[in-house]
Structure 1
Amino acid sequence: MPGEPVFLDTNMWVYLFTDPRSAEDRRKQNIVQEALSNHSNIVVSTQVLNEASNVWLKKYGLDIDQVKSYLKTIQKSAEVHLIERAADLPGPGSLRALQAFLP
Structure 2
Amino acid sequence: MNNKELYLKKVQTELDEWKAQIELFRAKAASATADGKISMNQDIKVLEEKVADGKAKLAELSKSSESTYDAMKRTFETKWEIIKTSVVDMSKKLSA
TM-score of the superposition, structure 1-length normalised? 0.28
Q: Which has the higher helix share?
A: 2
TM-score of the superposition, structure 2-length normalised? 0.30
Report which structure shows greater RCO (CA 8 Å, sep ≥6): 1
Q: Which has the higher strand share?
A: 1
Larger Rg: 1 or 2? 2
